[in-house]
Amino acid sequence: MKEPIDVVETRNTLGEGVLWDDIGGRVWWTDIQERRLHRYDRETRDLETFDLPERLGSFGFVEGCGKIIGAFESGFAFYEPETSSFEWLARPPHGAGNIRFNDGRVDRRGRFWAGSMVEGEGPSAGKLYCFDASGSCEAMAHDIAISNSICFSPDGGTMYFADSPRRVIHRYDIRPDGRLSNRRIFVTTPPGAFPDGSSVDSEGCVWNAHWGAGKLVRYTPAGKIAETIDLPVSQPTCMAFGGDKLDHLFVTTAREGLSEQDLARQPLAGALFVYEVAVPGLPEQRFTVRA
């Protein structure tokens, strides 16, 4: 088992959506179920926590300001942690009371993508949305149970996406206008390993968190396994490249659904783990605002 270079014992119920801020030099992530946003400085080990008005599934940084754009449980909004200012941007109808937003990321053209998910029983009524600087919010894919693994190739021409219960990560071609086409299977994960959050490194390889299996897996652009990292917890959720050289992998994890016996075996469940990797990542694109 590869040893982490840092562990932040936050005991998150459902840590998710981790991102590295290359301007501020800090890592951010959300604890969805506790309605919290965390910000951590590895140099000072200072951890700040912001309470949120709704559960936050995922977010992106906004160019030119201190705001984030968030996929909150009921819609898209700007949120500024320092002032707690909050501005709704779009609240597309979910169609059922047990649907909320989940995974998301800003693409290489500065648009924010986020998908919704079904909590508990019910039809696969989730959707994948694209929100752009014009304020357009359009569903680009439908019939989804749990949206995850949203990430983009270095050239921005490919999007990776998973409907987690189906254990398949798909890849799509993205046209400049954001339209998706040519869906095909990228990888199928093993039984008991559900594809959660993903990130793409500078060689175009896709790192994916295997929820339930306690692994991070690096896939080549051809879908072959190039590397794995075993974690001391069973529910990794997402990862982001960070640090001065973007060669640190920040990994969020969850305690949600674990029994007392599970937690006794996994005392670090819900922590943020940091690993050093050989191939660096890419800077996170910021959401483009209209001039």
Q: Is 247 a catalytic residue?
A: no
Cα of first residue to Cα of last residue in the chain, in angstroms, is: 48
Cα–Cα dist 50/133, whole Å: 26
Helices (H) and strands (E) in the chain, counts: 1, 24
Q: Which of helix, strand or coil describes residue 165?
A: helix
Query: Which whole-number Å values give the CA distances from 13 to 36, 40, 102, 190, in the listed order?
Result: 10, 17, 15, 25
Largest interatomic CA distance in the chain: 54
Distance CA 183, CA 262 (A): 37
Helices (H), the chain: 260-265
Phi/psi zone of residue 182: left (φ > 0), alpha (ψ -120 to 50 degrees), beta?
left
Cα–Cα distance measured from residue 223 to residue 144, given in angstroms and rounded to the nearest whole number: 22
What residues pair up with 219 in beta bridges, in sequence order?
206, 225
Catalytic site residue from 31, 107, 163, 196: 196
Instruction: Identify the sign of the CA torsion 135, 139, 145, 150.
Output: negative
Q: Which residues are part of the catalytic machinery?
A: 196
